[in-house]
Amino acid sequence: MIRQAKAEDAEQVAPLIYIILEDMELPFLKGVSKEMMLEMIEASFLRPDYRFSKENVMVKEIDGKVAGILVSYHGEHAENMDDEWEGIQDMFGIVNKIPLFTERETWMGEYYLDSLVVDSAYRGQGIGKELLHAFKELAVAKNCEIIALNVEKANEGALNLYKKLGYESEYDLVLSGHDYYHMTQNVRS
């Protein structure tokens, strides 16, 4: 079942978000332990206006376990999406504040898929595709016309899946030193 995340999912969701952050090689991760970062993700999960807030997370649940997640939001919210990060750093006693993200990933008029990850124990079962369909349905329910995501150019498997599902590459961008395609799809056509 795919459902809205709940507060009690934080402990299972945090390691999945960490996978994405680690893959992006974010500079912030060099200054904190994995354990602290997982705690920070869990804290951010409970902040209503933060990027990784439970309000922005859908989970695929199998037998009471979170098998995969998607994080999505309106592009017009992206500019302020990370404002809570400084407060989260304060909670953990971090004095020299470092932003988690520095580049803009989405724009006004888009409903954006920030993150999609499937737990390694559940890969190869079509869960990623299920979550992508749920993302599209969510966008339609929110009266959005354009859905968007970024895929690392080196991730050929994901790129091929997105193309097969109707996404088109709009332009290239660089996020945390990695080359990405910004891909979109019109959900009304």
Q: Which two tokens stand for residue 22?
A: 């680690």
Task: Please choose, from the candidates 187, 21, 179, 10, the residue with its C-alpha nearest in 3D space to the C-alpha of residue 112.
Answer: 187
Please give the pLDDT value at position 49: 86
Burial of 61 (0-12, 13-18, 19+ CB in 10 A): middle
Maximum separation of any 2 CA atoms in the chain, in Å: 49
Q: What is the residue range of 89's domain?
A: 2-186
What one-letter code names the amino acid at 34? K
131/20 Cα distance (integer angstroms): 16
Q: Which two tokens stand for residue 83?
A: 């404002």
Q: How distant is the alpha carbon of residue 131 from its chain centre?
A: 12
* Mean pLDDT of successive 10-residue stretches along the chain, which has 189 residues: 98 98 93 96 94 97 98 92 92 92 93 97 96 96 96 94 95 95 94
Please give the pLDDT value at position 189: 75
User: Across the strands, what pairs with 173?
Assistant: 180
Please give the pLDDT value at position 79: 85
**CATH number of the structural domain spanning residue 7:** 3.40.630.30
How many structural domains compose the chain? 1
pTM for this model (two decimals): 0.95
Please give the pLDDT value at position 81: 87
Kindly report the length of the chain.
189
